[in-house]
Structures are given as C-alpha cells and as structure tokens.
Amino acid sequence: MAGEGGERKEQALADYQKKLLQHKEVDAKVRTLRDQVKVSKGEYDKTEDDLKALQSVGQIIGEVLRQLDEERCARPAAKLCQACWPAGTACPPPCSTGSVQEAPA
C-alpha cells in the first residue's frame, strides 16, 4: 500500500505541474489580448475624435453655404463676363467667352 500512495502522490504532482503550465499559457494569452484591446481602444478613440472634427467642419461649411444667396457667390473675386453672369442670377461657371469683368461683391 505504501507504493500505491507514492504513485498517487507523484501522479497528483504531475497533474498539478501540467495545470500550472496551462495556467501560465492562458495568463500570457490574456495579457496579449488585454494589450490588443488597449491598442484597439486607443485607435477607436482617435477615430471618434477625427469623426467629430470632420462633423464640425461639415457643419461650418453648411452654415457658410446657407448664408450664401443668389447675389453673393463663393467666388466673389472671380472675373466673369456679363453674358455668362447676368446680374441677379445664381453663381455661374467660369467665363468661357473671354469678355471679363469683376464680379459684384
């Protein structure tokens, strides 16, 4: 019986060592995954900030475009001819006839 108890003890120690090794491997995987989550969270936060900035710029552009009416054009200093841009019309394409004049401010 003494031999039987020793074998059980050795088997229990071997199982324990296997479990410890498995635990270390799983712990290393968990650490790696935590680091990946941290990096991904940083990238996500940066993307969110970039999207917020883009949205802000879009809102500013939208406000500016809303303020423009038919008399004021996004290109007020553009040189246009009277034939291409009669007074009181919407913003025209660039002049194609060659007889240019200063656009109204």
Q: How far is 56 from 60, CA to CA, in rounded Å?
A: 6
Please tell me whether the overall predicted TM-score, pTM, comes out greater than 0.85 for this model. no
Report d(CA 55, CA 31) in Å as an integer.
Answer: 36
- Strand, coil or helix: 79: strand
Domain ranges of the chain: 1-67, 73-105
Check residue 103 and report its DSSP letter: P
Which position has the higher pLDDT, 102 or 66?
66
- Looking at residue 82, its pLDDT comes to 54
Buried b (16+ CB within 10 A) or exposed e, 21-48: eeeeeeeeeeeeeeeeeeeeeeeeeeee
pLDDT single digits (tens) 51-100: 999 999 888 888 777 766 555 655 544 455 555 555 555 555 555 554 44
